[in-house]
């Protein structure tokens, strides 16, 4: 691509920053076992399917009208879900939602970053972050994680004072490494953020966005950043129904933050961004939280079993609190990826050189993965 498209369509006014780029996205291949995008491998229950169908039918009856723009009923349901999951009670006004946490993040950067402002994160991390920054015309900088993929907290206050970022994006558990932040690390980041906000807002704090897309998979004893919201107005905690909740197809991401932050996000959202169908389906799905989350313990055990088995093959793994494992290292990871794929198992070529990532599947899928991997490594 790139070069060629210029010669065939010179009349298209490509934006220089976007010309020749490929859209982001993992390969969507029709293979027997897909362990590449960290989905929950279990489909919804029959009860949830029936409830969603009835709720959508009900919503369809008034599709001639625009949907509820403020969707406070859904925000109240999400607040209830968060209270049950983490023990932290937020008001509906402290919750915001959009079409996947990807769109939630876009709202955050549209509202708080932008031209002349800097967004930072700690690499290796989720590869969409740089794209959110690009798409909102924000400056993008990264700080490296240590060899064990934890944060270098000692240098952080000095780095933040130098960079003065508007927004710090911090995934916990991190993708693709799986690394979770401890309570102490989180507090240290929030401390360092104080007073180091962007130069065009003197005296402000940096916004700290903790992306807990995989939050429900965290180990016992690892706190959710939601617990710190009461004491930190500059904290945003992002969640999604795509992963542990098992509803990636629904496209529903959400966040908890101070009401003032949520009010500001509403300035940049497109009107009616959450369709009536999405709102109805999400509310119906949330009524089935208990059964949706019932597989979490098994998925966590599956993850730990995958780690043990990778070790028994002589491989390294990054410590993980998520529903995936980054493993390696391979002199030629592409070759391993392809050989595993040839055996019908799609994993992900992502992360630092030499590493691969596999999502936790059903026991049968995990078995198929190891059969394929062992063959591929011969
Ligand atoms: N954050 C992280 C760390 C992720 O890994 C993902 C999905 N891969 C997302 C956000 C976006 O998820 P969604 O838009 O489906 O909520």
pLDDT in tens, 322-333: 999 999 999 999
- What pLDDT shows up at residue 1? 43
Neighbour count for residue 173 (Cβ, 10 Å): 25
Ligand 1 pocket check: which of 25, 100, 249 to mutate, most ligand atoms within 8 Å of Cβ?
Answer: 100
The top-level CATH class assigned to 7-43+294-376 is alpha beta
Cα(79)–Cα(344) distance, integer angstroms: 40
pLDDT interval class at 9 (50, 70, 90): low
Nearest ligand 1 atom to alpha carbon 242: 15
Q: Separation of 5 CA from ligand 1 center, angstroms?
A: 31
- Whether residue 361 contacts residue 35, with contact meaning beta carbons closer than 8 Å, is answered with yes
Q: Separation of 189 CA from ligand 1 center, angstroms?
A: 22
Sheet holding 316-317, edge to edge: 316-317, 324-328, 356-359
Q: Residues 309-337: what's their mean pLDDT?
A: 98
Average pLDDT, the chain: 95
CA-closest residue to ligand 1 atom 14: 100
Domain locations in the chain as residue ranges: 7-43+294-376, 48-291
Q: What is the pTM of this model?
A: 0.96
Say yes or no to pLDDT of 362 above 90: yes
pLDDT in tens, 27-74: 899 999 999 999 999 999 999 999 999 999 999 999 999 999 999 999
pLDDT in tens, 250-281: 999 999 999 999 999 999 999 999 999 999 99
Q: Separation of 255 CA from ligand 1 center, angstroms?
A: 13
pLDDT in tens, 220-254: 988 999 999 999 999 999 999 999 999 999 999 99
CA-closest residue to ligand 1 atom 8: 37
Q: Separation of 86 CA from ligand 1 center, angstroms?
A: 19
pLDDT interval class at 304 (50, 70, 90): very high
CA-closest residue to ligand 1 atom 1: 213
- What pLDDT shows up at residue 221? 87
Q: Separation of 126 CA from ligand 1 center, angstroms?
A: 8
Q: Residues 162-167: what's their mean pLDDT?
A: 98
CATH of domain 48-291: 3.40.640.10
Sheet holding 167-171, edge to edge: 95-98, 253-257, 235-240, 207-211, 167-171, 118-123, 139-144
pLDDT in tens, 104-139: 999 999 999 999 999 999 999 999 999 999 999 999
- What pLDDT shows up at residue 66? 98
Nearest ligand 1 atom to alpha carbon 251: 15
> Can you read off the two tokens belonging to residue 366?
């995990």
Say yes or no to pLDDT of 2 above 50: no
> Can you read off the two tokens belonging to residue 79?
């607040």
ipTM reported for the complex surpasses 0.85: yes
The percent of residues above 70 in pLDDT, for the chain, comes to 97
pLDDT interval class at 7 (50, 70, 90): low
User: Which residues line the pocket of ligand 1, CB cutoff 6 A?
Assistant: 38, 100-102, 126, 171, 175, 211, 213, 240, 242, 248, 253
- Whether residue 25 contacts residue 247, with contact meaning beta carbons closer than 8 Å, is answered with no
Say yes or no to pLDDT of 336 above 80: yes
Cα(240)–Cα(214) distance, integer angstroms: 8
CA dihedral (200, 201, 203, 207) positive or negative: negative
Nearest ligand 1 atom to alpha carbon 126: 3
Nearest to 265 by CA among 126, 136, 121: 136
Q: Separation of 377 CA from ligand 1 center, angstroms?
A: 30
- What pLDDT shows up at residue 11? 85
């Amino acid at each position: 691509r790139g070069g060629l498209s210029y010669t065939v369509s010179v009349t298209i006014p490509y934006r220089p920053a976007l010309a020749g780029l490929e859209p982001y996205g993992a390969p969507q291949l029709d293979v027997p076992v897909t362990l590449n995008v960290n989905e929950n491998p279990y489909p919804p229950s029959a009860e949830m399917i029936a409830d969603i169908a009835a709720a959508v039918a009900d919503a369809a009856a008034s599709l001639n009208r625009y949907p509820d723009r403020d969707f406070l009923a859904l925000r109240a349901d999400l607040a209830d879900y968060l209270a049950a999951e983490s023990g932290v009670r937020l008001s509906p006004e402290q919750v915001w939602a959009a079409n996947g946490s990807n769109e939630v993040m876009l709202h955050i950067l549209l509202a708080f970053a932008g031209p002349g402002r800097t967004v930072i994160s700690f690499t290796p991390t989720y590869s969409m972050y740089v794209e959110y920054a690009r798409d909102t015309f924000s400056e993008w900088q990264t700080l490296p994680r240590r060899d064990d993929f934890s944060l270098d907290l000692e240098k952080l206050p000095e780095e933040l004072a130098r960079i003065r970022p508007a927004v710090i994006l911090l995934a916990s558990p991190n993708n693709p490494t799986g690394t979770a932040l401890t309570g102490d690390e989180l507090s240290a980041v929030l401390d360092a953020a104080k007073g180091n906000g962007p130069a065009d807002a003197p005296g402000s704090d940096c916004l700290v966005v903790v992306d807990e897309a995989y939050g429900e998979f965290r180990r016992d004893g690892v706190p959710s950043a939601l617990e710190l919201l009461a004491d930190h107005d500059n904290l945003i905690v992002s969640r999604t129904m795509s992963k542990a909740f098992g509803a990636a197809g629904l496209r529903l991401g959400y966040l908890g933050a101070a009401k003032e932050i949520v009010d500001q996000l509403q300035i940049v959202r497109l009107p009616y961004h959450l369709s009536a169908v999405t709102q109805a389906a999400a509310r119906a799905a949330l009524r089935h939280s208990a059964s949706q989350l019932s597989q979490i313990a098994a998925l966590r055990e599956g993850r730990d079993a995958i780690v043990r088995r990778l070790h028994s093959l002589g491989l390294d793994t990054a410590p993980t609190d998520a529903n995936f494992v980054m493993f390696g290292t391979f002199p030629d990871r592409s070759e391993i990826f392809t050989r595993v794929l040839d055996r019908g198992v799609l994993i992900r070529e992502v992360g630092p050189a030499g590493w691969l990532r596999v999502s936790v599947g059903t026991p049968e899928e995990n078995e198929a993965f190891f059969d394929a991997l062992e063959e591929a490594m011969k």
